[in-house]
Chains A and B, each alone.
Chain A
Amino acid sequence: GENVEQHPSTLSVQEGDSAVIKCTYSDSASNYFPWYKQELGKGPQLIIDIRSNVGEKKDQRIAVTLNKTAKHFSLHITETQPEDSAVYFCAASMTSYDKVIFGPGTSLSVIP
């Protein structure tokens, strides 16, 4: 079955710098890749997703890139702010209607 790995497990950046979180997946049939942000004491929040027919997607300060050949995808956060501090999860599924497999998460700290 699908396996999703995520790196790094922890990441600290200075406010205003960029942050990059990388994920790899094992099943070449996977075509849907959502990202979730989980703030302390809260449930995860879907922040952006990408499908295999697109190589990159942006939404204000966040962007996701996908390399299907290498089976990896990344989350990029620019101009980081303290409120970006959270745990970020990547995930993968074969289609937008299949079970989502989550990565183990990355704890991002933005230092003011």
Chain B
Amino acid sequence: NAGVTQTPKFQVLKTGQSMTLQCAQDMNHEYMSWYRQDPGMGLRLIHYSVGAGITDQGEVPNGYNVSRSTTEDFPLRLLSAAPSQTSVYFCASSYSNAEQPQHFGDGTRLSIL
């Protein structure tokens, strides 16, 4: 049982580039979410989904897009990377509510130059 799987683990981008962070879970959880973690700031919610075809914004959604075409997958897209998006990104899933993370992936460390 893999739980929540995130790829890639590390990525370096140039300002203005776009990319997609992948997240997949095999627990049949309806609820999935994306957080960013910055030093001294805990985790902040970017976007979340309560089921396939349904997404909503969290605390810090600007510059990011999400989609949820299947229960298993919840990719996060950076449209035009900026240095302020340098962070560690975590995907999480939950059986009860998107905003109550219960299972986290191991993160993607993203650097924007």
Contact = CB atoms under 8 A, between A and B. Distances in A.
Interface of A: 4, 9, 32, 34, 41-46, 89, 91, 93, 96-105
A32 B58 CA distance: 19
- The B interface, classified by DSSP as helix, strand, loop or mixed, is loop
Interface string B16-57: 000000000000000000000000111111000000000000
Nearest to A49: B100
A19 to B, nearest CB: 19
Chain B interface category by residue count: 20 to 34
Interface of B: 4, 40-45, 58-59, 90, 92, 96-97, 99-107
Contacts of B102: 46
Contacts of A99: 45, 58-59, 99
16 contacts: A41-B106, A43-B4, A43-B104, A43-B106, A44-B104, A45-B104, A46-B101, A89-B43, A93-B99, A93-B100, A96-B96, A97-B96, A97-B99, A98-B97, A102-B42, A104-B42
